Structure 1
Amino acid sequence: MPSATVNNHRPSELLSRLASAEPEVKLRALREVKNQIIGNRTKKLSFIKLGAVPAVAGILADSADDVIDYNNNNCNVNNNINNILVQSAAALGSFACGFDAGVQAVLDAGAFPNLLRLLSNSNQKVVDAGARALRMIYQSKLVPKYDFLQQKNMEFLISLLNSENENVSGLGASIITHSCETSLEQKVLFDAGILRRLNSLLEGGSLSQRYSSLESLASIFKNNSELVSKFAGAEIERPLGSIIDLLKDRYPRTRLLACMCLIVIRNTSPHLLQDIGVKSKLIHILLELLDDPGQVGDEASFAFSSLIAQKEDLQKLALEANAIDKLHHHLQKGSLRPRRYEGILLALADMCSKLESCRSKFLSLQVLNLVTDALTDDSADVRTAACICLKSVTRSIKVCNVGNSFAVLVLIFNANIAYEMPIQNLSAGYFMNEMVVVPLVQLFLDPSTSVQVAALGAISNVVVDFTTHKCIFVQCGGMKQLVQLATSMESAVRSNALWALKNFVFLADNRLKEGVFSELTASLLSSLIYPEPSVQEQALALVRNLVDGCMNSVEFMFAEDGLILGAIGRQLQNASKAEIGIQGMYALCNVASGNEFHKEAVMHQLFPQMVDKNESFMINFLQSNDSQLRTATVWTIVNLTCPSSPGAFGRLVKLRNAGIVSQIKHMVNDPCVDVKFRVRTVLGQSMAFGDN
């Protein structure tokens, strides 16, 4: 029996056929365009570049007008016109499906209004094709938001949801999923009775309607505890039960969407769904869904992450369910699709974000090698996820050198200096090896900003090391690149580069600090104290760790005529947020641990030509609601008034005249133990000079 031949014309040939005056030729060309581009991004892009989308959109518009003309003449609509409408809508939907460039081309061609017109067509096949195409378009964020607040729009939406055509009702649900973002929009939809309709589709609708309803419900519930409470209350029959029942559905996508909807409900209203059985069921279902070879398996890890993120109780349950083993197993398979690869890495990151037991499990399975391999993946999203995973794992404190960490803790407790101490990251030096450091440093220059920021976040943990391993980072060019990135045009990159430098110089030896400072220079560092608050805070924290009480490091502050010290003083005069005041005061606190010259320089910054005591920002800092800011300020005064210092009495007099000592006397019973301890130290030192 001879095999059927399939026409497969070149895109340019098909484009000329689309312009044919013969309806049959045009129809066959539309059908072939649709068939060639389905699931093929390369073909879609090729046709888009040739201008196929405007051509198809033009055919749709002309055919829709022909329908009106025929109707006005009371004639039967030619079957060819209906078929052309169906195929042109299908082709436009295929261009848009999962492809933002296709969506943009469809929107630019003006096809959107004409697709909406198809919904009122008398032919159900045409209506169905239009609804399908619009649903595909509404999957993209490029589509303008639907305005639920206009009455006519709400009426149209309700008519869609009430349609017997499942693609039309599904379109209504897709519009909600796409456009419902604000609490006002959520309330308007609830007041219009939309939740009842979605719930009825959930219980009695088709499989497609069930999917759409679950997605829409999640959008309406998200971050709106009031609506969740109403839904879970008596206003809707069998509210949560209908969703929980779907966890047992035979279809994997239904189970996934039911999980996602319940996760949104629980994250919005944590007091709901507290039953450990439901929690365990969600974890087990999502871990099982990872085995699905399709899109469900790709998305399951993201749902799992949203379930356990920042929740120790759920992370413990997931660990007991062997979540890390299962995620590791999927990583070992290799050749993962980028979306699945990214999701698994992010799930591992969330699993290791809180619990030492999870991090220990991660390390015992040697997952680290697989994660570092992902740092060089072709996908920017995968590289970003790998960095986030490393950042999460390198928070561990169990793999640190006990002797080193003990020595550091004693030093910090006893000294008069104040470090910006990354408490959670005392052990990150365990990862300070070429296998981890070199690929991370290479990502500093990644073309993707999100990858750069994530790599800097990971290296911020890794470089916290108290041993000679820091030379690895210097030798591979990491330090110099951090300095370069500190001047990036991207605020997030600048901030994270400074954060990494801050951690890198934490308890570093003076030689390394001199190397960092020579790369930075006083002028550059002082300029970084002036930009937006996030950069200011990290720049000041870097200065705080550079000036660690060692006399040589204190001298950094006086380079280039004291540029850095002056910049700190000016910022403290007008600190826009407490965090900036905290870091600035701790930097001055460390300078004040130096010699007489250093202490007097700090006094000059604290009280520049002050006439009235109310002009001093010190009073405001001491009265702050932020205990860290009060601590930093009092600690600075401790260092300025140390009795062994020759000029301490003179400084104490200035502080008394400025009203500082009087304010400190009112803080003897401060609720913060750190503040109370240092307040009593100041008062004890003042008594040494006869001040009662």
Structure 2
Amino acid sequence: MTTSKYEESIKELVSTDDAKRLKALRFIKNSVIGNKTKKDLYIKLGVVERLVEYLSLSDPEAYGLKIQAATILGSIAYGKDENAISVVAFGALNPLLNSLRLPPHNNLTEAIHQRRKLLEASTRALKSIFSSSKVSKEQVFMDGHIEDIVALLEGTSPVILLETQNNVSSDSLSFAMIAEFTAAIVAKCCDTPEQQMELASAGVLKPLINLLYSNCIKAQEAALDALATLCRENTEIGKMVVGGSLTQDKQQSCIETILEFVKEKCPKMRLIAATCLTNLYRTGAFSESTDSIVLVVLPALVKLLSEPTGDVQEKAPLVLADLIKDSEDMQKAAFEAYAIPRLVELLATLSTKDSNSADLMLGVPGVGSLAKRKQKIRENCLIAIAAATLAKEECRTQAIDQKVLPYVVQALQSEYPNVRLAACQCAKSLSRSVSNLRTSLVDAGIAVPLIKLLNDSSIVIQAAACGAICNLVLEFSPMRKSVIDGGGIEHFVEFSRSSDPKLQLNGVWALKSLLFKSDLPVKKAVMKVLTYNALIDLLHQPAPAIQEQALEIVRNLVCGNQEAIEDVIEGIGKDDLLDVIESKLEDTFDMDVDDEDDAAVARTLEPALFIVVNMSSGPEGPKMALMSRPNITNSVFRHLSHDNPAIRAAATWCMINWTWKDREGQQEGLKERVRYLRDLGAEQKLRVMESDSCRDVRDRAMTALEQLMAASS
């Protein structure tokens, strides 16, 4: 049986002749670089195990062999998750990380110089391995490897800071690559806040910032990327970066330098710098004026949406979404910078039937097929549009006017789950507009694909679709009937029983929205499927968010005529219903809770008060039933002094309905309620509330006081 030259090269690796081994390694290296088929072949032939053995050989005899072994491992791992996982599985990480350790030396730069070729190959290999999100980073944080990484950055940055772009020696080029690859390793190993802090505490920030002042573009990009990742959602590190102590003896601050990078010609550099500033801005540690972000970063991101370079078009929409998603001011700035029209234009390019012209807009393909990259850009554009249209009506109008809806409807039916998910998020933001619900969204036919997604194979997408539909079933929406006819009630009830927290919450929320200002037949149809026993279970769920929406369901059920109120009293049981109301109104008293817990309790308190309001808006029986529970009455009275004006207003509405005189036959009940309220001190309290800081509370208090006094006369 003949042996292939590739199998022969593997056999040569076990030779005792170093020259033969080195020749075999070079042959393997040349075979695998840029060749996916050969990489897979050599993995099957067992080359990785041999290479790991080479890396574990002692210096200096095996120095040349180790360089070749590290280079091959990096090439095999590059570009494919499965290959990176195979390299790690065969034990390559430890010897590669160990090769970063510098021998004892008084001068870091000299120590690096002695091993620069091996360091260059090993850092490149580690960068390739850690580029896979499926590879664990834990080993980096063991056995002093972080200190080795910091030493490499500290030892390389002084050398490349002295070089100019027009006069780079081979040594300096090697140092620049070591710095670049090491910074890239840092960027790939910040998956958790703990990892971020461990790297920052080890001293990685200062040498990374120093690299920004070098003339090596690749090193600058890698350092910026590392800084962006280190400070992402980490206020403490954000403060370290912008604090100034890390940039001593520099003519301009770190932030000023990064702002200059945003103006560079290279699109990739502009994107990374914009990402870094966006992450710093989101930590709240950004010490410069927000105007710098609005005037420099935001327009740069909008411009990058039209840059067909590498993966810039893919990443720019996500950075833009991060920048604006939590700020109405930023969303307004995005509106003024025409970010939404640019995003819609990019979606249109991706949807064109002329694939050749679409391909030209995507630039140089990155890792993965062109089709997958198109879908990733589509996904990210939809996420950015969802962020841009979340809060402001003019932004939603701009998106509708730019004809975004056909692309959203198309994306809801995509074969790619992440695109469907992003389209759901976009639909949810756009459906927050009452005018859009009545016109554009109906015309676009958005309800049908959303209803279909309630059966999606992904629970996450089911939850997102349900969240979007919450806005489609409100009383003013013409799509309410379509959702009900499409089996919406059954789906929402099913979701309300889910073990998935997000799906359950959105299911209960959708039921709440469906019942908002609904007529009696809709209420009966919902409760026939949901059942009152299940509603009681939801009212006692441990999650405050579920309790809040369940209370909102009761609030909406008892909003209306006498029959609606009586149905709920009969369905839950009068005593059980009063027990629930009593417990929810008392929850904020005598509790040692932090601000977050207190806020959660307040969210359940408001709907509980409005259940009292709605039950007290009609017949005498429910009013007197509520007043028969002193704990309910006393709690309502105490909530007139609540810190939250919305709670004070709700409690004042209770007072209005309790003192309302609608029929002569109810005089005795009214007088009894008024006597009780006056004994509690209602008159004095309402007079004080006439000067409340909230206008709504003041107006309601004046009405309640007028009624109280009229009923007392």
State which of 246, 251, 266 in structure 2 corresponds to 1:237: 251
Structure 2 residue 129 is matched with structure 1 residue 137: yes
**What code does the residue aligned with 1:570 have?**
S
* Aligned mates of 2:11, 2:502 — CA distance in 1: 49
CA 1:265–1:337 in structure 2 vs 1: closer, same or farther (change >3 Å)? Answer: same
Structure 2 residue 394 is matched with structure 1 residue 394: no
- Residue 499 of structure 1 deviates from its aligned partner by 1.8
State which of 591, 595, 615 in structure 2 corresponds to 1:591: 615
* Aligned mates of 1:98, 1:629 — CA distance in 2: 56
Contact 1:247 1:258 in 2 (8 A): yes
2:213 alignment partner in structure 1: 203
Contact 2:183 2:226 in 1 (8 A): yes
State which of 61, 75, 99 in structure 1 corresponds to 2:52: 61
* Aligned mates of 1:125, 1:147 — CA distance in 2: 21
Structure 2 residue 637 is matched with structure 1 residue 600: no
Contact 1:566 1:605 in 2 (8 A): no
Structure 2 residue 700 is matched with structure 1 residue 678: yes
| C-alpha distance after superposition, 1:211-260 (max 9, x if no partner) | 11111222455435633542399844312332233234332211211222
Contact 1:547 1:590 in 2 (8 A): yes
State which of 115, 122, 132 in structure 1 corresponds to 2:96: 115
1:669 alignment partner in structure 2: 691
CA 1:593–1:108 in structure 2 vs 1: closer, same or farther (change >3 Å)? Answer: farther
CA 1:204–1:228 in structure 2 vs 1: closer, same or farther (change >3 Å)? Answer: closer
- Residue 177 of structure 1 deviates from its aligned partner by 3.0
Q: CA RMSD in A?
A: 3.8
2:557 alignment partner in structure 1: 546
* Aligned mates of 1:278, 1:468 — CA distance in 2: 39
State which of 507, 529, 548 in structure 2 corresponds to 1:537: 548
Where do residues 612-691 of structure 1 align in structure 2 (5 Å cutoff)? 616-644=634-662, 645-646=666-667, 647-657=669-679, 663-664=685-686, 666-690=688-712
1:419 alignment partner in structure 2: none
Contact 2:582 2:631 in 1 (8 A): no
- Residue 667 of structure 1 deviates from its aligned partner by 3.2
- Residue 678 of structure 1 deviates from its aligned partner by 2.6
TM-score by length of 2: 0.78
Contact 1:244 1:258 in 2 (8 A): yes
CA 1:588–1:206 in structure 2 vs 1: closer, same or farther (change >3 Å)? Answer: same
CA 1:185–1:226 in structure 2 vs 1: closer, same or farther (change >3 Å)? Answer: farther
Contact 1:486 1:495 in 2 (8 A): yes
CA 1:507–1:205 in structure 2 vs 1: closer, same or farther (change >3 Å)? Answer: same
Where do residues 433-512 of structure 1 align in structure 2 (5 Å cutoff)? 435-466=445-476, 469-512=479-522
Contact 2:71 2:124 in 1 (8 A): no
**What code does the residue aligned with 1:339 have?**
K
2:393 alignment partner in structure 1: 356
Contact 1:146 1:179 in 2 (8 A): no
1:403 alignment partner in structure 2: none
Segment drifting more, 228-237 vs 104-113: 228-237
Structure 2 residue 272 is matched with structure 1 residue 250: no
* Aligned mates of 1:437, 1:355 — CA distance in 2: 22
In structure 2, the residue corresponding to 1:678 is in which secondary structure? helix
Structure 2 residue 407 is matched with structure 1 residue 370: yes
* Aligned mates of 2:459, 2:492 — CA distance in 1: 14
- Residue 209 of structure 1 deviates from its aligned partner by 0.9
* Aligned mates of 1:255, 1:445 — CA distance in 2: 42
Contact 2:302 2:337 in 1 (8 A): no
Contact 1:8 1:32 in 2 (8 A): no
* Aligned mates of 1:667, 1:136 — CA distance in 2: 66
State which of 283, 297, 318 in structure 1 corresponds to 2:313: 297
Q: Percent identity?
A: 27
In structure 1, the residue corresponding to 2:474 is in which secondary structure? coil
- Residue 579 of structure 1 deviates from its aligned partner by 0.8
* Aligned mates of 1:579, 1:592 — CA distance in 2: 21
1:423 alignment partner in structure 2: none
- Residue 489 of structure 1 deviates from its aligned partner by 0.8
**What code does the residue aligned with 1:119 have?**
L
Contact 1:429 1:466 in 2 (8 A): no
1:402 alignment partner in structure 2: none
* Aligned mates of 1:672, 1:47 — CA distance in 2: 74
- Residue 292 of structure 1 deviates from its aligned partner by 1.6
- Residue 643 of structure 1 deviates from its aligned partner by 3.2
Segment drifting more, 28-37 vs 163-172: 28-37
- Residue 437 of structure 1 deviates from its aligned partner by 0.7
State which of 136, 150, 154 in structure 2 corresponds to 1:162: 154
**What code does the residue aligned with 1:237 have?**
Q
CA 1:270–1:550 in structure 2 vs 1: closer, same or farther (change >3 Å)? Answer: farther
In structure 1, the residue corresponding to 2:642 is in which secondary structure? coil
Contact 1:161 1:172 in 2 (8 A): yes
* Aligned mates of 1:660, 1:463 — CA distance in 2: 39
- Residue 601 of structure 1 deviates from its aligned partner by 2.7
| C-alpha distance after superposition, 1:367-406 (max 9, x if no partner) | 101111101112222111111111112222444xxxxxxx
Contact 2:274 2:297 in 1 (8 A): no
**What code does the residue aligned with 1:509 have?**
D
Segment drifting more, 80-89 vs 449-458: 80-89
| C-alpha distance after superposition, 1:157-194 (max 9, x if no partner) | 32121344334323442354345588998788778765
Contact 1:265 1:272 in 2 (8 A): no
In structure 1, the residue corresponding to 2:661 is in which secondary structure? coil
In structure 1, the residue corresponding to 2:213 is in which secondary structure? helix
- Residue 136 of structure 1 deviates from its aligned partner by 2.8
Structure 1 residues not aligned, in runs of 5+: 1-6, 400-426
* Aligned mates of 1:273, 1:201 — CA distance in 2: 25
Q: May I ask how many residue pairs the two structures share in their alignment?
A: 629
Structure 2 residues not aligned, in runs of 5+: 16-20, 103-113, 157-174, 352-370, 589-599
* Aligned mates of 1:47, 1:339 — CA distance in 2: 31
Segment drifting more, 682-691 vs 109-118: 682-691
* Aligned mates of 1:569, 1:105 — CA distance in 2: 61
| C-alpha distance after superposition, 1:628-671 (max 9, x if no partner) | 11221221232223234341222333444556666555434222
